[in-house]
Amino acid sequence: MTNPTDSASPQTAPPTAVRTRIAPSPTGDPHVGTAYMALFNWAFAKHHGGQFVVRIEDTDAARSSSASETKIFDALRWLGLSWDEGPIVGGPAGPYRQSERLPIYREHVDQLIAAEQAFPCFCTSQRLDEMRSQQRERGETSGYDGACLGLGAAEVEQRIAAGESHVIRMRVPTEGDCEFRDELRGEISIPFTQIDMQVLLKADGFPTYHLAVVVDDHLMGITHVIRGEEWINSVPKHKLLYDYFGWPMPTLVHMPLLRNPDSSKLSKRKNPTSVTYYERAGYLPEALLNYLGTMGWSMPDEREIFSIQEMSEHFDLERVTLGGPIFDPVKLGWLNGQYLRSLSPEAFMQRVADWAINTDHLAPLVPLIQQRTERLADLAPQVDYLLGDRVALTAEAFAHKKMTPEQCVAALHHYSSALDELRIWDREVLVELAEGLAKHQELKLSEFLFPIFIALAGRSVALPVFDSMVFLGSDLTRVRLRDGLQLLGLSKKQTKKLDKAYLAYVQSTG
RNA sequence: GUCCCCUUCGUCUAGAGGCCUAGGACUCCAGGUUUUCAUCCUGGCAACAGGGGUUCGACUCCCCUAGGGGACGCCA
């Protein structure tokens, strides 16, 4: 940790100074997968006395939001993973938000066009969609067919001058293999026939991930790219770009992917995946990080309880295992208990206060609670369901004098399906979705909301449902709706039928 | 469908050719401590995906098969 090169100036710093990064995309709640990669990048950088950089990949103008960006920073801070360079703290390689680096990408793309390593493409998305589905039908890997490759310079110039919408694509060899090295797996070879002529610059002037990641990793001096396994297949695109620009490749480390219990890639539909959820459900950041540290990695002495400092001290890529680990909330719970019980009574009380039993956190509930109170003692029974993880549910609680069990199930299923797709957790949107579905099911809103109420609170007498949902947030809400559905015992067949019905509904509403 | 990656108890993992009768942790089961519960302690169940090689010797190296996962977007 006491690396003498730490204080050296950038000019004299040896090229071996380690720099890692995470590059989250601010398009939703902060994901545990992001926390996982942040932990490993942080631990690796700290182990080598290097720097850990945060860069915001907000190249998807439609989906990115500053609210999401803020949540990501909050999550990293809650976890205690501080970054040496990035938004807020700044640094010499900024700006660290890709939306603020547009001229840089444009410049680099122009360079590629001049060298005929990239070319403008005027194809419409309809044509591309058709092309892809035809290729799929023929059992081929889908990819751009090169229609705009043969366009003459004069025509291109004229169409651009006429303001025709276009993108810039990269040229890719039509034969041969791309060979590269992954630190954990060794040499990997992928045929160029599998590689699409990737769009580098979108019609809106924003870069795609593939361009931005290469340009920024190089310009920011990133030496080790530690990221999820899902990126292995796009390495050839990146390597091509490094070659086109004449830049050296950083060391590549592809970590295994966190999995759902059914072994598919960890997803928000099947599991709570936001860091915020774990915070709200009462987990300690050190326990969550410790748990993530045991996913695909182990301490040399096999101890299972360790801090991130201890992890970075002993960090070694050789100790990474490649099988995709299943994220197991039961073991995380055990670990969290270990941490909680080892606290002094004073520290424990402080943790509880920091968590939720404090005025800041409860303030938004006061207007709702106060009206329904006769004695101060009424507070706890009213808010209990808002403070925990899940609630105790019984099937009987879902019995309703008018609604059939089928209607209850459909309401739960459809509403939770709709919420799964929600990117922004907004009260008005929550209301609209419920109203739409209630109408579709020919139910009064109050009826439609009955099973929702039960799933959320475990009882029908509770604080207003939409306020409760806003307070609970996306993951906590969805996990409870799913619990309710599961309790009512859905077979696979019924689930499929409901999925279909929901899909039909979505299509009918456009 | 095509390509790429992966494969030790149900789960997380140790294991880098003989130390393996495969170790630890979670879960589960049994017993003990505890007025109850929880904690805690003790014990138990449980795995090298299959088949070929290489080797005096394979969990460890190579090949094939099977299974799992991922990628194939003007999303990242």
Question: Which structure tokens are listed for A439?
Answer: 């109408």
| CA-to-CA dists, residue A285 to A7, A84, A136, angstroms | 30, 20, 45
Q: What is the pLDDT of residue A489?
A: 75
* Position with higher pLDDT, A49 vs A136: A49
The residues of A between 105 and 144 with beta carbon within 7 Å of nucleic strand B are: 123-125, 128, 132, 136, 139-144
Q: Does residue A268 carry a catalytic annotation?
A: yes
Q: Which of residues 341-380 of A touch strand B (CB under 7 A)?
A: 341
Chain B: positions less than 7 Å from a protein CB are 1-8, 10-16, 23-27, 39-40, 68-76
A74 touches strand B (CB under 7 A): no
- Peptide bond connecting A300 to the previous residue in cis, omega within 30 degrees of 0: no
**Pick from A94, A74, A89: nearest CA to A34:** A74
The pLDDT, as a whole number, for residue A12 is: 44
- Alpha carbons A24 and A221: distance in angstroms, whole number: 18
The predicted structure's pLDDT at residue A491: 75
Give me the pLDDT at residue A153, please: 85
For A509 and B6, how far is CA from C1' in angstroms? Answer: 42
Q: Which of residues 1-60 of A touch strand B (CB under 7 A)?
A: 23, 25, 27, 57, 59-60
Say which residue the tokens 């956190």 belong to: A361
**Residue bearing the bigger pLDDT, A252 or A397:** A252
What does the pLDDT read at residue A240?
97
- Whole-number pLDDT of residue A495: 85
Select which of A265, A268, A270, A497 is catalytic.
A268
Name the pairing type of β-strands A51-54 and A177-182. Answer: unpaired
Q: Once rounded to an integer, what is the mean pLDDT over residues A437-465?
A: 93
Instruction: Give the lowest-confidence range in A69-73, A190-194, A388-392, A483-487.
Output: A388-392
Residues 169-188 of chain A with CB under 7 A from strand B are 185, 188
The nucleotide minimizing the C1' distance to residue A143's CA is B72
| Cα–Cα distances in angstroms (integers) from residue A12 to residues A5, A7, A8, A16, A408, in the given order | 9, 10, 6, 11, 68
Determine what percent of chain A is predicted with pLDDT higher than 70. Answer: 97
Q: What's the pLDDT score for residue A165? A: 92
CA–C1' span, A194 to B60, in Å? 34
* pLDDT tens track for A231-257: 999 999 999 999 999 999 999 999 999
Give the span between the Cα atoms of A342 and A498, in whole angstroms: 46
Q: How far apart are CA A57 and CA A208, in angstroms?
A: 10
Res. A459 pLDDT band, cuts 50 70 90? confident
pLDDT value, residue A381: 87
User: Mean pLDDT over all residues of chain A?
Assistant: 92
The model's pLDDT over A343-377, given as tens digits with 9 standing for 90+, comes to: 999 999 999 999 988 888 889 999 999 999 999 98
Over residues A151-156, the mean pLDDT reads 86
The mean pLDDT of A366-391, rounded to a whole number, is 89
What is the arithmetic mean of pLDDT over A313-337? 96
Distance A377 CA to B11 C1' (A): 42
Q: Is the model more confident about A295 or about A129?
A: A295
Each residue of A10-68: pLDDT tens digit? Answer: 444 455 689 999 999 999 999 999 999 999 999 999 999 999 999 999 999 999 999 99
Task: Report the nucleotide nearest the CA of residue A213, measured to C1'.
Answer: B76
- Which nucleotide shows the minimum CA-to-C1' distance to residue A261? B11
Extract the tokens encoding A260.
């759902």
A177 nearest nt, CA–C1': B3
- Separation in Å: B31 C1' and A286 CA: 34
